[in-house]
Amino acid sequence: MTTRQRTTVTVNGRVYEREVEPRLTLADFLRHELHLGGTHVGCEHGVCGACNVLIDGRASRSCLTLAVQVDGAQVTTIEGLRNRETGQLHPIQQAFIDEHGMQCGFCTPGFIMTTLEMLAENTNPSDEQIKDALGGNLCRCTGYETILKSVRLAARRLRESSAP
Amino acid sequence: MKAAPFDYHAPPTVDSAVALLQRFESEGIDAKVLAGGQSLMPMLNMRVARPQVLIDLGRIAALDYIRTENSMLAIGAMTSKRAAEDSALVRERQPLFHAATQLIGHRPIRNRGTVGGSFAHADPAAEYPAVALVQDIQMKAQGPHGVRVVPAREFFVTYMTTCLEAAEVLTEVRIPALPPGIGWSIQEFAKRDGDLALAGVVATLRVVKGVCEDVRIAAFGVNATAVRLAAAEAALQGRPPTPENFARAAAAGAEALEEPIADVHATPAYRRQLVRVYTGRCLAEASARAT
């Protein structure tokens, strides 16, 4: 049983091709095959959101997705956010620093990837919309208030930077 | 928390998926269909389920659609919940189904989870099966002996069990139009918004000449499948839409429930109480929406 299968995934713009066991999750594929440790593995059953990445632009639990399922897909992880040329952090990352949107930082990549999807669709979200979007991410340091502030700041900066 | 080993197939068509399922069934190999994986993957990771083979329907593009067929809305089984949530067709023509979709999981779950997956998984706490009972949603399935269409009341058999046979694949759900003037409501109680409900209620009704008609109520999260609350329906049928009548119907419905599920989150008595409270709230909201 368990024939290894080829999967070809574009992660942060770079194409990776690997032979993997079908049971390998996308989270473990990123961490152990590609050595991209920024995607954190929390609960491994879809509750905590720490492992959220973008699959074809949509925030998704990488612990509930198999590496073979994303054959041909575009995946974005936290490592893909920094500006490659300038080294500058993404405005969402910078806002989480400026507003202290983390304590231990374990949940942060998941919160940021969820925020990235939300702000890609709407840079002017209400607090209700932010809470609804982030409702599937857990922070055990209970830093929700500063996370909310971080997202508001990121949204404001993104609006200002895209203003004419 | 790692899945046990399995083989993986991603057939490009329903025909090839059925052929694979038929082959594995005849060889005595335990094959399981994978849709969006948002319920199955946790079960695999926790090794609650250990199939030998997964048949992933994710490559069958022909099962991803939302379209009208006469008065019905037909949704392909592999359509994501996110697509249903974003669809103007669903929002305008099927507001109850749309509201139910928004109650399912969180955004990342709806991005990957499929409409068909929820029906085939048949979790007793899922929203869609209760909506299906109230709205007479039909399930279209394809198997070795062809295509059949099954009404909701026959489709859901028991806890996480449907009438689908081992080599059958759910291909479409067919949602009849809501009758003109009907009021609807779906409400649930979960410990965190987006988590599986401890209990929830769906209701539709019309108000004709000052009395409630066509009252349909279903509860989910309380028994092995979603259940129609016939006693509550009968108690309100033909009576004016007043708070007293809603309370009487809600009490009758909760009273007549089979012994609810007990787990670490809630006792049977608590779930029965939730059904009573949410039936009352749903009836009030549905009657306010009825025109």
State residue B20's pLDDT score: 98
State residue A162's pLDDT score: 81
Retrieve residue B202's tokens: 């769906």
Neighbours of B140 (CB within 10 A): 18
State residue A102's pLDDT score: 94
CATH of the domain at B129: 3.30.465.10
Per cent of chain B over pLDDT 90 is 98
- Average pLDDT over every residue of B254-272: 97
Regarding whether B77 and B90 lie in a shared domain, the answer is: yes
Residue-averaged pLDDT of chain B: 97
The CATH label, of 3.30.70.100, 3.90.1170.50, 1.10.357.10, 1.10.150.120, for the domain at A91-162 is 1.10.150.120
CATH of the domain at B19: 3.30.43.10
State residue B65's pLDDT score: 98
Range of the domain at B46: 7-58
- Average pLDDT over every residue of B282-290: 98
Which of B101, B106, B110, B192 is most worth mutating to test chain A (most A CB atoms within 10 A of its CB)?
A: B106
The CATH 1.10.150.120 domain(s) of chain A lie at 91-162
Regarding whether B190 and B159 lie in a shared domain, the answer is: no
pLDDT at B68 > cutoff 60? yes
Cβ separation B111–A60 shorter than 8 A? yes
Query: In this structure, which topology does domain A5-80 adopt according to CATH?
Result: Ubiquitin-like (UB roll) (3.10.20)
B42, B54, B194 ranked by CB distance to A64: nearest:
B42
Cβ separation B6–A61 shorter than 8 A? no
Please identify, among B126, B153, B175, the residue that sits at the C-terminal boundary of a domain. B175
Instruction: Give domain status of residue B17, yes or no.
Output: yes
Cross-sheet strand order for the sheet of B53-56:
B7-9, B53-56, B31-34
Q: Using 50 as the pLDDT threshold, list the residues of chain A that sit under it.
A: none
Cβ separation A60–B37 shorter than 8 A? no
State residue B202's pLDDT score: 98
Instruction: Give domain status of residue B117, yes or no.
Output: yes
- Average pLDDT over every residue of B67-90: 97
Per cent of chain B over pLDDT 70 is 100
State residue B192's pLDDT score: 86
Regarding whether B151 and B203 lie in a shared domain, the answer is: no
Per-residue pLDDT of B181-219, as tens digits, reads: 999 999 999 998 888 999 999 999 999 999 999 999 999
CATH of the domain at B217: 3.30.390.50
Regarding whether B202 and B166 lie in a shared domain, the answer is: no
Cβ pair B174, B69 in contact under 8 A: yes
The total domain count for chain B is 3
Regarding whether B83 and B23 lie in a shared domain, the answer is: no
| Residues of chain B neighbouring A52 (CB-CB closer than 8 A) | 108
Query: Could you give the 3-state DSSP secondary structure of residue A121?
Result: helix
Which of B8, B60, B82, B193 is most worth mutating to test chain A (most A CB atoms within 10 A of its CB)?
A: B8
Cβ pair A99, A35 in contact under 8 A: no
State residue B193's pLDDT score: 86
Instruction: Give domain status of residue B147, yes or no.
Output: yes
